[in-house]
Amino acid sequence: MSYTIIIPARYASSRLPGKPLAMIAGRPMIERVWMQAQKAGASDLVVATDHNAVQEACERFGARVCMTRTEHESGTDRLAEVVDQLDLDDDAIVVNVQGDEPLVPPEVIEQVAQNLAKNPSAGIATLCERITDHETLLDPNAVKVVFDIQGMALYFSRSTVPFSRDTALQIVDLEQESWYRHLGIYAYRAGTLRAFTTWPMADLERLEKLEQLRALHQGVRIHVEPACEAVPGGVDTQADLEKVNRLLSV
């Protein structure tokens, strides 16, 4: 199957400055992400960055790079710029692999691309995982998703959806009931990305601070499926960086 992987690698980060170039077991983080993405079997793999130092690092290890504007408000806007630079057809499939996920399994990259290809009525595909602990269930930073029998998203929220009317959320049986945490890996049709940048922010998006609600508001169908492999968290802090270094230095 033909699809393109784009890895946005924004240099500025309030919690971890210069994050794409942070070293992990002797290699910059962006190279670690690129190495994982290479295994997914995409027809094209591109790093999208706004910083010359990231571009130079990527070119040293052989990655293809697209330089983008610095003023993008979101990673989705950066993806859309690259889609235009690559002159992709509107029906082309693009997978966004975050530049701070050096442990992302190649299998889930391929999974989300295939899911979009298999669901022609969807403009976006994404993944989720079952929630197995109450801390995650109640954490507003863990985005929840509910979807229909065809795997199409009904809603994404920082609140606990669905809400248990009859049992306190702190004591619901997570082995008997199913809640799902959204994982931030997406496949898009190139035309959906182009359209996304023209749409105003939706009220639901403004309240929840979740970009995907803009697409739902516009009537875009989003396919959701549990990930075929566990997806480790990304690197947001110095503590995350140290943890990944320990894992990959063994």
Domain 1-101: give its CATH superfamily: Spore Coat Polysaccharide Biosynthesis Protein SpsA; Chain A (3.90.550.10)
Three-class SS of residue 170? Answer: helix
Domain boundaries, the chain: 1-101, 105-231
- Sort 249 into a burial class: Cβ within 10 Å, 0-12 / 13-18 / 19+: exposed
Matching CATH number, 105-231, of 2.40.110.10, 3.90.550.10, 3.40.50.970, 3.30.930.10: 3.90.550.10
105-231 has the same fold as 1-101: yes
pLDDT in tens, the chain (250 residues): 899 999 999 887 767 888 999 999 999 999 999 999 999 999 999 999 999 999 999 999 999 999 998 877 777 888 999 999 999 999 999 999 999 999 999 999 999 999 999 999 999 999 999 999 999 999 999 999 999 999 999 999 999 999 998 888 988 989 888 999 999 999 999 999 999 999 999 999 999 999 999 999 999 999 999 999 999 988 988 999 999 999 888 6
Give dist(CA 82, CA 48) in Å, integer. 7
pTM score of the predicted model = 0.93
